[in-house]
Amino acid sequence: VIARLLANPRLLEEMMIADGPSDGNYGKAMEIYEEIVRESDICGKDPDHPILHRLALAIALVHAVPVPQTNALMMVESSEFFSDDKSVDPVRRYLNYEGAYMEGELDPNFSSLTTWELRFVVNGDEPDEISSWGRQMLRNYYPDHIWSAFNN
Which pLDDT tens digit goes with each residue over 26-42?
Answer: 999 999 999 999 999 99
3-state secondary structure of 97: helix
**Among the ranges given (9-13, 15-19, 130-134), the one the predictor scored with the smallest mean pLDDT:** 130-134
d(CA 13, CA 19): 10
pLDDT tens, 39-98? 999 998 888 899 999 999 999 999 999 998 876 555 555 455 455 568 899 999 999 999
Q: Return d(Cα 118, Cα 104) in angstroms, integer.
A: 17
